[in-house]
């Protein structure tokens, strides 16, 4: 009972940021003495402190209690297919530090994990106030996460990561809880908690090296029984199409993943060898930059990508009926060069009722969104189970 009341008060203070003991008693229905005892307890942890005296409403001026956003910090890690991002955030997931590096994550798990360990140490060492308390580490993976093996990536999608328990390894290194989830799920979680729309019926489409979707249904991430929900990149578009890395044929990813887009560029530039994509290595950035600069070949390939994605999104709208489809990932920087052909295809393929209320928009949190989602995963757990917070944060340091 006491733990439940403590959770209730902590969540209320986190949400409101400030409140007096009298307000907390009124809002929770708990007695003043219970509220006072729990606040005493929370002040011990450093998560709450007496900030100032408020305005009087007749009697003694009340003391305003404030939730301490900096009492402990969160780390979010995004493993992309070819890059890693790290964020260090406060307890409202405001980014304090950000790091990013290009890394062949799929093929070199050991390199990737070492960079993350060093990166987290550097972030914590460089943080203001020196070596702050860490609540935990959230990890976004380019793979579904099977709840029966919550610390590992699924080897069908990333074979070289087979048998590596990421949660155990980072947990040992930092002595704090480590939570993993699929990257698109965490993109969805971040948009739901902190994004422009925060709709409780939201689909996040990640368009990068591969294609994935994260689903928020009735305000919660929907993962399915084995963590595979939202794997739109491996839905079948053409059963006779090219082989996919997952072992199936004609998956959406084979038709619109970056590999296929680069193939298209190479095929077409042989016919029109005059644009900015003629020479040099192809990358998502080069493709998007050329498109934004007006290159016809790049625009053509981006429009093809949008139309092909539109098939997947139309099916998604009919299946899930979300209010928002938020599109994130590297290709999204192309903006309407990608999104307009996508919307047009959706209008021609989805039921009018599914389209009627569905806005298809670029992600509002930008390139850091998924890493912020990873930090949010830890925060969500800590607010649900407050014993997750470190129990001796900064006591005696702050005044
Ligand atoms: Zn596939």
Q: How confident is residue 395, by pLDDT bands cut at 50, 70 and 90?
A: very low
Distance from C-alpha of 134 to C-alpha of 72, rounded to nearest angstrom: 6
Name which residue leads in pLDDT, 113 or 267: 113
For 160-176, write each residue's pLDDT tens digit. Answer: 999 999 999 999 999 99
Give the distance (Å) from ligand 1 centre to CA of residue 109: 21
CA distance 41 to 32: 14
44 CA distance to ligand 1 middle (Å): 51
The helix, strand and coil proportions of the chain, stated in percent and rounded to the nearest 5, come to 45, 20, 35
Least confident of 58-62, 225-229, 269-273: 269-273
Q: How confident is the model at residue 393 (pLDDT cuts 50, 70, 90)?
A: low
* Cα 254 to ligand 1 centre (Å): 7
Question: Percent of the chain at pLDDT above 70?
Answer: 96
* CATH superfamily, region 73-187+369-388: ATPase, nucleotide binding domain (3.30.420.40)
Q: Per CATH, which fold does 196-364 belong to?
A: Nucleotidyltransferase; domain 5 (3.30.420)
Q: What is the pLDDT of residues 177-215, one digit of tens each?
A: 999 999 999 999 999 999 998 999 999 999 988 899 999
Distance 246 CA to ligand 1 centre (A): 4
Report which DSSP code applies to 61.
P
Q: What pLDDT, in 10s, does the model give residues 89-105?
A: 999 999 999 999 999 99
Is there a common fold for 2-67 and 196-364? no
Model confidence pLDDT, tens digit, residues 325-382: 999 998 999 999 999 999 999 999 999 999 998 999 999 998 899 999 999 999 999 9
CA of 168 to the centre of ligand 1 (A): 28
What's the pLDDT score for residue 82?
Answer: 85
Starting from the edge strand earliest in sequence, which strands make up the sheet with 48-53, in order? 18-20, 63-67, 48-53
Q: Is the pLDDT of residue 398 over 50?
A: no
Alpha carbon dihedral 133, 135, 136, 138, in 10-degree steps, equals -120
Tens of pLDDT along 258-287? 999 999 999 888 777 667 787 778 899 999
Q: Which CATH class is domain 2-67?
A: mainly alpha
Q: How far is the CA of 259 from the centre of ligand 1 (A)?
A: 13
Residue by residue, DSSP assigns 109-175 as: HHHHHHHHHHHHHHHHHHSTTSS--EEEEEEEESS---TTSTTS--TTT-GGGTT--HHHHHHHHHS
Residues 286-305, mean pLDDT to the nearest whole number: 95
CA of 356 to the centre of ligand 1 (A): 30
Assess whether pLDDT exceeds 70 at residue 399.
no
For the chain, what are the domain ranges?
2-67, 73-187+369-388, 196-364
CA 110 to centroid of ligand 1, rounded, Å: 25
7 CA to middle of ligand 1, Å? 42
The alpha carbon of 283 and the centre of ligand 1 are apart by a number of angstroms equal to: 21
């Amino acid at each position: 009972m006491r733990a439940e009341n403590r959770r209730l008060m902590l969540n209320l203070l986190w949400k409101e940021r400030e409140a007096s003991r009298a307000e907390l008693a009124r809002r929770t229905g708990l007695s003043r003495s219970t509220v006072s005892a729990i606040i005493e307890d929370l002040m011990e942890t450093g998560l709450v402190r007496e900030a100032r005296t408020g305005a009087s409403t007749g009697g003694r001026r009340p003391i305003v209690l404030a939730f301490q956003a900096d009492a402990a910090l969160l780390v979010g890690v995004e493993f992309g297919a070819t890059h890693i991002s790290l964020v260090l955030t406060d307890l409202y997931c405001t980014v304090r530090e950000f790091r990013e590096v290009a890394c062949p994550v799929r093929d070199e798990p050991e390199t990737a994990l070492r960079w993350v360990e060093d990166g987290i140490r550097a972030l914590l060492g460089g943080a203001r106030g020196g070596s702050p308390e860490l609540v935990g580490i959230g990890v976004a993976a380019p793979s579904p996460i099977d709840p029966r093996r919550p610390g590992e990536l699924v080897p069908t999608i990333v074979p070289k990561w087979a048998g590596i328990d990421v949660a155990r390894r980072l947990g040992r290194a930092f002595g704090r809880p480590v939570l993993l989830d699929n990257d698109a799920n965490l993109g969805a979680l971040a948009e739901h908690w902190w994004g422009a729309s925060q709709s409780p019926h939201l689909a996040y489409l990640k368009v990068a090296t591969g294609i994935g979707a994260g689903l928020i249904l009735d305000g919660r991430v929907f993962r399915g029984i084995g963590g595979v929900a939202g794997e739109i990149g491996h839905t079948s578009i053409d059963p006779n199409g090219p082989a996919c890395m997952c072992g199936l044929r004609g998956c959406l990813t084979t038709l619109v993943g970056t590999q296929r887009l680069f193939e298209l560029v190479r095929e077409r530039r042989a016919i029109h060898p005059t644009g900015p994509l003629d020479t040099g290595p192809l990358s998502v950035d080069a493709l998007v930059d050329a498109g934004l600069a007006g290159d016809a070949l790049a625009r053509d390939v981006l429009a093809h990508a949008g139309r092909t994605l539109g098939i997947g999104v139309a099916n998604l709208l009919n299946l899930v009926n979300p209010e928002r489809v938020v599109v994130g990932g590297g290709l999204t920087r192309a903006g309407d060069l990608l999104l307009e052909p996508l919307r047009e295809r959706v209008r021609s393929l989805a039921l009018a009722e599914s389209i009627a209320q569905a806005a298809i928009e670029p992600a509002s949190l930008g390139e850091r969104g998924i890493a912020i989602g990873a930090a949010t995963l830890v925060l969500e757990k800590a607010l649900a189970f407050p014993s997750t917070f470190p129990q001796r944060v900064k006591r005696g340091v702050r005044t």
